[in-house]
Amino acid sequence: MRVIYPSLVEQAVEELAEGEKITLDYKVQVYQALIKDKIIDEFGFPTEYALSQGYVESITEEPNLEWDEFLDMYPIFKKCDQVEFERINGFWEITTDFQAKLMSDSFQAKLTNIEKAQIQEFLSGRQRAV
């Protein structure tokens, strides 16, 4: 069974591990500590406490971002060609084919957990692909 942890947990695990091998037990410990410390709720969302203390920054993608501003939000896409994206209704969108490539095992194997979390965050905000 494969457990997918929320992006904040993945980011915390990667930061705390400092290059060490990351085990499932370690992820569980980090997840539980983040909940105990009221940084995230049981679903992995930041708490009001975490936001107000500046432990977690809430980033909302605004419409009509320039390409460089979009890349500041999602640095993972610096590895991708801009032609894979199209601005629709003010937001940078991708095709279903490119989405499949991003989620493929061969592409994902080359990514850090933070990069995977960025893709997950980008895709979770999308209701449809081009």
67, two tokens: 């390409």
Determine the pLDDT at residue 129: 45
26, 130, 43: which is closest to 87 by C-alpha?
Answer: 130
What is the Cα–Cα distance from 103 to 108, expressed in whole angstroms?
6
pLDDT value at 31 more than 80: yes
Residue 3 has pLDDT above 80, yes or no: no
- Residues 45, 48: Cα–Cα separation, whole Å: 10
pTM of the model: 0.67
Q: Which residue has the higher pLDDT, 7 or 24?
A: 24
Residue-wise pLDDT for 73-104, tens only, equals 999 999 999 999 999 999 999 999 999 999 99
Q: Are 118 and 74 in contact (CB under 8 A)?
A: yes
